[in-house]
Amino acid sequence: MAQPQSFKNHARFDPQFHFFIIPLLLLNLIFSIYTTVHYWPRHMYHYLWWIVMSIVLFVIAGLCRGYALKNQDRIIRLEEQLRLADLLSEDQLGLIDTLTVDQYVGLRFASDAEVAALAQRAITEHLDRKQIKQAIVTWRPDNQRI
């Protein structure tokens, strides 16, 4: 059986992205530079274009990953705003508008019992995502993160 999620083991790798796409794109870039150096000046523009396109593909992969994570952070913010609206007391509802996206992402792991106090603490102490996660006592797993 899998170990329960906690601060120490919550980070995840996407095997297809981290262990297949990125290494192959990096290998393509290295190989294009190697080929350009060894076959210079024959077909000089062809090899230089290969380097440029290798860099473009590498950047596209990073942007796609970044866009997916940014979109997921926005969804987490919305989910946590709804959860906090349901769990916070009437006098604490103002906290919802003062939390940053980074703080919402950290708070998503906090149990319902401790999220209100932790949100208050995150605002007053200007805690970032990592500090919030470290302060969580009862971890609420999020197994859907990309």
pLDDT of residue 2: 65
Q: What is the pLDDT of residue 42?
A: 82
- The predicted model scores a pTM of 0.80
Per-residue pLDDT, 127: 96
Closest CA to 96 of 72, 114, 77: 77
Number of Cβ within a 10 Å radius of residue 92: 14
Question: What is the full DSSP assignment across 7-56?
Answer: TTT-----HHIIIIIHHHHHHHHHHHHHHHHHTTTTTHHHHHHHHHHHHH
Could you report the average pLDDT of every consecutive run of 10 residues in the chain (146 residues)? 73 88 96 91 88 96 94 94 93 90 95 94 95 94 77
